[in-house]
Each structure stands twice: as C-alpha cells, then as structure tokens.
Amino acid sequence: MVMDGQARFPRQRTGSGSWQGPGEALGYVAPGGGPGGRAQPARPAEQGVPAPGCALHRRLHLALDAADLVAVGAVRRRLRAALDQWGVPELADTAELLTSELVTNALLHTGQGAVFDAVLTADLRLRIEVQDGTARLPRRREPVAEYATSGRGLLLVEALADDWGVQLRGDGKVTWFELAYS
C-alpha cells in the first residue's frame, strides 16, 4: 500500500493557489493555534468553518496495490482517524463499513489496485471515492444464501449512503458514496 500523496509531496497547492503542508491537509490547525502553542485538530462541527490552510475541504488519499486485502483494514483505521481529526467521528462507523465494501470490491473484482479518496466539504458532507482500472460496472447481487459471506456490498451502500454512484473514466471507473453530517 502506498500511503497518501502527502508523504511523497510535502506541500500541495490548494484550489485557491495557496500552499499547504501535510498536516493542514488532514485538518490540523497551524502550530501555535492551540493551548500551549501546540497544534490542535480543527473541529468543524464546533466551529462551522474549515481549518486554516484547508481551502474548502479536508482530504485523505491512499493508493492500494492489487489484491492487498490486508490494506482494507489500514484504510478503515486511517479513515476513522481522519474523521476524528476533522470533527465528525459520528460518520466513522457507516463510512468505514461502506468503504470496506467498495475497496474490497475494487481489489477482488478488478485484479488491479485501487485509489481511495475521502473528502469532507465545507458543508460537512463526506464523499468517498474508490477508483479502479476497469470500466466494468459493479452490479448489485442478491446473496445466494442467507448466510452467504458475499453479495451484500452494494446493497449496504444503497441502504446506508445518502447518495452513491459510479462514474466511468478513460482509465477505469470511480465508485463513490456520500454521507451528510447532521
């Protein structure tokens, strides 16, 4: 698993043209912003605005190797930590479950790696995207038996996400879902 792009690119340009470091991209307030001069995580639910340096959203980006199913657990842990830092830990359980389904589907059914992105917008809407390298559309299946261990992924996404879909791209597809913080 390749960790987020911030490890390879220590500073990234935001949409507004300003530069931000890796901590800021995860929603941290600049050093000196908290008690005793320590960096403190931004709490959008309390403040209602993005942290300095975060432009309009917070983002987590991970690249996964083909068939690296062990990485699914690491994605869940990183996502939960990011949601906690962004001040929306209430989204973590549902986001983790649905992320596991999409990432596992991408790794199992495409024979390729996947790219995971989580974005929390200024209006506190979480969007998760999983990109893979095949244009084959996912299809919702009915589980073969009551105790079957597969076949429920997209049923769960459909039932629990506020919105979801698939976008075809020239290099494959992106399967995504959104959860609103309320």
Whether 135 and 168 have beta carbons less than 8 Å apart is answered as: yes
> Closest by alpha carbon to 113, among 140, 155, 148, 75?
75
Structure confidence at residue 137 (pLDDT): 86
Structure confidence at residue 43 (pLDDT): 46
Which pTM does this prediction carry? Answer: 0.67
How far CA 110 is from CA of 96, 107, 137, in Å, comes to: 21, 6, 10
Whether 126 and 176 have beta carbons less than 8 Å apart is answered as: no
Structure confidence at residue 121 (pLDDT): 93
SS3 152: coil
> Closest by alpha carbon to 99, among 110, 89, 91?
91
Maximum distance among all alpha carbons in the chain?
58
Instruction: Kindly list the averaged pLDDT for each block of 10 residues, start to end, along the chain of length 182.
Output: 37 36 37 38 45 60 92 96 96 97 91 94 95 86 59 85 95 96 90
Structure confidence at residue 96 (pLDDT): 98
Whether 11 and 20 have beta carbons less than 8 Å apart is answered as: yes
Structure confidence at residue 49 (pLDDT): 46
Instruction: Report how far residue 159's alpha carbon sits from residue 137's, in angstroms, rounded to the nearest whole number.
Output: 19
Q: Which CATH number fits domain 54-180: 3.80.30.20, 3.30.565.10, 1.20.140.10, 3.40.50.80?
A: 3.30.565.10
> Closest by alpha carbon to 181, among 128, 108, 123, 114?
123
Task: Give strand ranges (E) for 19-160.
Answer: 19-20, 57-64, 114-121, 125-132
Find the DSSP H helices in 54-145. 70-85, 92-110
Any idea where the domains of the chain sit in the sequence?
54-180
Structure confidence at residue 67 (pLDDT): 85
